[in-house]
Amino acid sequence: MKGREKLCAKLSSAFLRKWWFVVAVSIGFLLFGIIVVIFFMSWVKLVINHEVTLRDGTQAFGWWAKPPVTPIIRIYIYNVTNADEFLNNGSKPIVDELGPYVYTEKWEKKNITFHENGTLSFNQEKIYYFDESQSAGSEDDVVVVPNIPMLSATSQSKHAARFLRLAMASIMDILKIKPFVEVSVGQLLWGYEDPLLKLAKDVVPKEQKLPYEEFGLMYNKNGTSQDRLTVFTGASDITKYGLIDKWNGKSNLSHYTTDQCNSVEGSDGSIFPPHMTKNTTIHIFDKDLCRRLPLVFDKEVVASSDIPAYRFTPPKNVFGSVEENPDNACFCPQGPPCAPSGFFNVSLCQYDSPILLSFPHFYLANDSYRTAFEGISPPDPEKHNFYIDVQPIMGTAMSAKARVQVNLAVSQVIDIKQVATFPDIIFPIIWFEEGLESLPAEMTNLMGLATTVPPIARATIAGILFGLGAVLLVIAIWRLVRGANRLSSLHLAPGHISQTNKTKDVPMSNVPKY
C-alpha cells in the first residue's frame, strides 16, 4: 500500500515537473515576445542610425556625396512689355510670365575632409545644363527686365548727399544706363557685362563689395562653390545628422541681432536627422536665402515608388511682419520699416541691393503687390508653395519643390532723372522652382525595406512568440490541471486505483522515465 502511494507521488511529481518546465518555457516565449514588442523598434532605430551615418565607403555616403538624382530648376521670367509707358505715362506695369526655362543639374560634393569630432567639410558643386526640350523658349530669348544694378544703386542713394545723386545721374547719362535692360535669358541668368559694375570695380577700393563686373542672377553658380560647408555626419550625434555646423568656418551669420536668426544649423535640403515626427520642425540653410528656413509638417503624402513621406512646408507666417510673427524681429536689424509681410529682405547678403524674396506670384503676401501689375495670375498653393517631402524614418528627401520669387524693392529718387518717374514699387524679376522629382529605384527600394520590413518583422516575430507561448501554456496548464485532478483522486482513494486504470489514464508517451 505504502509503496504504491510512493510510486504514484513519484510518478505524478515527475510528470508535473515536466509540464511545469513547459509552462516556464512558454512564459519565456511570452516575455521574449513582450521584449520584442517593446524594444524591436529601438534596435531598428540603432541599425538605421548606423546605416545612414556618413562614413567613407558606405552606400549612404556615396549617395550623399554624388546623388544619383537629376534635380531640375525651372525658371520663369517676368518680361516687362510696357516699360516706356510705365516710365513716361505712369501706366500700370504689364508683365508677361515667360518660361519655364529648364536646366537639369548635376550635384557633387567636392574635396570632402572628415574630422575627428563627427563632422566633415566639403565644397558643393552644381553643374547646370539647359534642357531645350522641356523649356518653353530658348536661352537666346530677349527679355526686358528692371536694371537691377542701376536701380539698386539709385535706391541705395536715397539717403546719400544730394550732390552724389546728381553725380550719379550724370554718370548714368554718359554711360547711357536705362532703368530697364534688354538682355537674353542666358545673359540675365549667367551674366552680362554691366557698365555700372565695371565702373564700380574700377573706382571702388578693392576691399569694398561687388567683386564682379558682370551681373547675372545665377552668375558664378555653375561649378564648384567657394563656400566650404562643415556638416555633422551623425557619428557623434544622430540628432544633428546632415545639419550644418559651420559655413565658411563660421558657426553663425553676423547679419542679424540674435543667435536664433544668425544660426546656420540647417540641412542643405538633401538629408535630415532621422526619426522625425509630425511635430518636428526642420530647417534648410541656403546662403542665397540669407537665413535658415523653417519647415513644418503639412500632410502625409505618398512619394515616388509608394514610399510614404511627410510633406514639410514653411509655416504661413514664415515671412510675416513683426506684428504677425514676433520671431522675425531679429531679421530686421535696422528696422523699422521692415520688409512687408510675405517678403524677406536679403539685401545684407546681396551687397546691399534691395532684393526681397517672396513666394511666386506673391503667395502669402498682400494681394495688392500682385495687382500692382498686370499679367500675374493669383497665387495657387499647388503651383507656388514651397515644399519638401521627407521619408521620416531615414530623413531622406524624396521629392521637393523649392519655389522662390526674386523681387527688387525700388525706391523713387527724384534727383536722378533717369529714374525720377520710377515709383516706389516691389518689382518681380523672376521666380524659380528647384525640384527633385524622384529618387532612383535602388534608393527607394532600400527605403521601402526600411519602412515596411521592421513593422512586419516585429509583428511576425512577436506573433510567433506569443502564439507559441500561448499554445504551450494552454496545453501545459490543461495537462497540469488534469494531472492534479488525477493526483487528488489518487490521494482520495488510493486503494481503488488499479494498474489497468493507471495505464489507461496516462498515455505511454507521457510516462516519465525513472
Q: Does 91 bind ligand NAG (CB under 6 A)?
A: yes
- C-alpha distances out from residue 86 to 361, 428, 431, 461, Å: 20, 15, 22, 73
Instruction: Say how many C-beta atoms besides its own lie within 10 A of residue 108's C-beta.
Output: 15
Q: Does 135 bind ligand NAG (CB under 6 A)?
A: no
Q: Stretches 124-132, 160-168, 460-468, 506-514: which one binds ligand NAG (CB under 6 A)?
A: 124-132
Q: Does 190 bind ligand NAG (CB under 6 A)?
A: yes
295: cell is 519647415
Q: Are strands 344-345 and 119-130 parallel, antiparallel or unpaired?
A: unpaired
Q: What is the DSSP letter of 302?
A: E
Q: Does 257 bind ligand NAG (CB under 6 A)?
A: no
Query: Contact with ligand NAG (CB under 6 A): which of 36, 168, 339, 406?
Result: 339
Helices 441-492, 2-52: crossing angle, 10 deg rounding: 170
Q: Does 181 bind ligand NAG (CB under 6 A)?
A: no
- C-alpha distances out from residue 301 to 46, 131, 457, Å: 26, 29, 24
4: cell is 504504491
How far apart (Å, rounded) are the C-alpha atoms in residues 90 and 401?
37
Query: Contact with ligand NAG (CB under 6 A): which of 141, 194, 268, 433?
Result: 141
CB of 189 to ligand NAG, least distance (A): 7
How far apart (Å, rounded) are the C-alpha atoms in residues 242 and 152?
36
Q: Does 243 bind ligand NAG (CB under 6 A)?
A: no
Query: Contact with ligand NAG (CB under 6 A): which of 40, 128, 192, 466?
Result: 128
Dihedral angle over CA of 490, 496, 501, 506, nearest 10: 10
Q: Does 328 bind ligand NAG (CB under 6 A)?
A: no
Residue 60 contacts residue 77 (beta carbons within 8 Å): no
Which residue in the block uniquely carries the three cell numbers 544694378? 149
Residue window 435-474: x/- pattern of binding to ligand NAG, with contact defined by CB under 6 A: ----------------------------------------
CB of 47 to ligand NAG, least distance (A): 22
Nearer of residues 434 and 472 to ligand NAG, judged by Cβ: 434
Q: Does 230 bind ligand NAG (CB under 6 A)?
A: yes
Q: Does 354 bind ligand NAG (CB under 6 A)?
A: yes
Nearer of residues 17 and 417 to ligand NAG, judged by Cβ: 417
Q: Measured at the alpha carbon of residue 54, what is the angle toward residues 49 and 59, in degrees to the nearest 5?
A: 90
Q: Does 366 bind ligand NAG (CB under 6 A)?
A: yes
Q: Does 407 bind ligand NAG (CB under 6 A)?
A: no
Nearer of residues 98 and 468 to ligand NAG, judged by Cβ: 98
Q: Does 88 bind ligand NAG (CB under 6 A)?
A: yes
Hey, which residues between 266 and 305 contact ligand NAG (CB under 6 A)? Answer: 277, 279
How far apart (Å, rounded) are the C-alpha atoms in residues 52 and 69?
18
Nearer of residues 135 and 270 to ligand NAG, judged by Cβ: 135
214: cell is 558682370
Helix (H, G, I), strand (E, B) or coil at 375: coil
Instruction: Say how many C-beta atoms besides its own lie within 10 A of residue 238's C-beta.
Output: 22
Q: Measured at the alpha carbon of residue 504, what is the angle toward residues 500 and 509, in degrees to the nearest 5?
A: 125
Task: Report the interface residues with ligand NAG, using CB under 6 A.
Answer: 79-81, 85, 88-89, 91, 98, 111, 113, 115, 117, 119, 127-130, 137, 141-144, 190, 222, 228, 230, 245-246, 251-252, 259, 263, 277, 279, 333-334, 337-339, 345, 347-348, 354, 366, 368, 409
